Amino acid sequence: MGARPRRQIVAMGGGSFAAEPAGSRLDAYVLALSGKPRPKICFLPTASGDAATYITKFYEAFGERAEAVHLALFGRPRTDIASLLTSQDIVYVGGGNTANMLAVWRVHGVDRMLKAAWERGVILTGVSAGMICWFEAGVTDSFGPLAALRDGLGFLLGSACPHYDGEMDRRPTYQSLVRAGFPEGYAADDGAALHFIGTALETCVAGRPGARVYRVGVAGEVVVETPLPVRVLS
């Protein structure tokens, strides 16, 4: 009986190819995890409504470094979604409206297909909505003002908050929610990411100096924000 495939998730708080056209260190980190010189990578731009400009930026960033494809779910989706996702080395989820993305995924069964891909060893990653979705809950602007989202995929326990230093209201909103009983979890600045192996946090990395990651919880009625060690990528 063979060893169980290594399940990995790299959850990015912000940054990546759309924000760093000159080259994202976080993206390079994820590509290197595959151990292949030209890995297969599939982009899911669902949260942006399959925005054409976002898809173009993905191919500009990855077309020469990987076997890049994207999965569109608006219009008429392809019929081999499950085989496409499970055949990848990396699945990359873009930013946008997290709630809409999760709803569309569930209509097409992509939530189940992503779990199957993860169980087979496909590396799951993403930024913003692509950070929140892997957790049970998160802080989102999907409904307009920042609010709680409580129906994430739940591959990882707890909650997540991206853009912790990039948007003024993220930190106070997340802390207020956690203080009121929202699941404890992780916050990541733009340019920082959490790398999970299985469901355990393995390491935190950053594409720029000063980008931080935090564990956010409560002690009594006090919110406790604990900075985690972060390795700045060269």
Q: Which residues carry out catalysis?
A: 128, 163
Whether the CB-CB separation of 188 and 215 falls below 8 Å is answered with: no
Q: Which of 222, 226, 145 is nearest to 178 (CA)?
A: 222
Q: Phi and psi at residue 110, in whole multiples of 5°?
A: -65, -30
Q: Which of 226, 181, 230 is nearest to 208 (CA)?
A: 230
Q: Which residue matches tokens 């990039």?
A: 166
Q: In what order do the strands lie in the sheet with 135-140?
A: 147-149, 135-140, 156-161, 185-188, 213-219, 222-227
Q: Tokens representing 113?
A: 């297909």
Q: Phi and psi at residue 90, in whole multiples of 5°?
A: -140, 140
70 - beta bridge partners?
A: 43
Whether the CB-CB separation of 137 and 148 falls below 8 Å is answered with: yes
Rounded to whole angstroms, the Cα distance separating 134 from 198 reads 12
User: Could you give the C-alpha distances from 51 to 46, 57, 74, 185, in angstroms and in order?
Assistant: 8, 10, 10, 30
Q: Tokens representing 224?
A: 């406790």
Q: Please report, as a single letter, which amino acid is at residue 191.
A: G
